[in-house]
Amino acid sequence: MEPARLLATDLACRRGERLLFRGLSFELQPGEALQVVGPNGTGKSSLLRILAGLLRPLSGSVDRPADIALLDERLPLDGDLPLGRALAFWERIDGGGYGVEATARLGLDAMMDVPVRYLSTGQRKRAAILLSNARAAPLWLLDEPLNGLDGQAAADFQGHLAAYLAGGGMAVIASHQPFDVPALKRLVLADYAV
């Protein structure tokens, strides 16, 4: 069996009547990461949604692993449930475990009885990181993963991402912020603007 890879070929994306980008191609192998950069509104989030299979490209194709983890601004947790129960819901579906160590490492262990809607932006982001990291997906699609995190939490996440890549994972990161992970490639989305 061939190892997982991500191959995007000649992608184009239109939002409404506006063509955001075209002619975009790249390939990632296990252990590689790509940071997508560009001004707001250039299509970074749309590109991640195309790569995830949630948005159809105007043209082009994507060959990706069947199992992916998407971390974006949409936290898939019921805001009315305490964090512990909301995470338990996904634990039953994904079959993975979040574990006491992981929740403590992300500073969420004291928040398990707090309804999700009362979590701060940073706490919600850390809960989303916990959800995406608990899956053994070979590809992570990360949309502004450092937003809302304090300096220590951002450094911890980058360390975790580096370990994930060292273990053969792949990541596409849409972010304005600099990332410190080995062998990070960069894609400037404005280079593909129309």
Q: Is residue 62 domain-shared with residue 81, that is, in the same domain?
A: no
Domain of 49, CATH number, reads: 3.40.50.300
Q: Is residue 62 domain-shared with residue 144, that is, in the same domain?
A: yes
Judge whether 186 lies within some domain.
Answer: yes
pLDDT of 161 reads: 87
Q: Is residue 62 domain-shared with residue 148, that is, in the same domain?
A: yes
Contacts of 185 (CB under 8 A, 6+ apart): 26, 28, 32, 33, 34, 35
Q: Is residue 151 domain-shared with residue 63, that is, in the same domain?
A: yes
Q: Please name every residue paired with 120 in a beta bridge, in sequence order, or none if there are none.
A: none
How many domains in the chain?
A: 2
Residue 189 has pLDDT above 60, yes or no: yes
Judge whether 72 lies within some domain.
Answer: no
Domain that holds residue 158: 6-67+137-192
Q: Is residue 143 domain-shared with residue 178, that is, in the same domain?
A: yes
Give whichever of 25-39, 59-73, 86-100, 146-160 has the largest mean pLDDT. Answer: 25-39
- Segment holding 191, helix H or strand E: none
Q: Is residue 23 domain-shared with residue 60, that is, in the same domain?
A: yes
More confident residue, 153 or 118: 118
Give one word for 57, left, alpha or beta, with left for phi > 0 and alpha for psi -120 to 50. Answer: beta
Q: What pTM did the predictor assign?
A: 0.84
Count of alpha carbons within 13 angstroms of residue 164, beta-carbon side? 24
Alpha-carbon distances, residue 62 vs 5, 56, 65, 91, 115 (angstroms): 10, 10, 10, 28, 38
Judge whether 1 lies within some domain.
Answer: no
SS3 content of the chain, % helix, strand, coil (to 5): 35, 25, 40
Judge whether 152 lies within some domain.
Answer: yes
Judge whether 38 lies within some domain.
Answer: yes
Q: What is the mean pLDDT of residues 25-45?
A: 93
Domain boundary among 94, 112, 135: 135
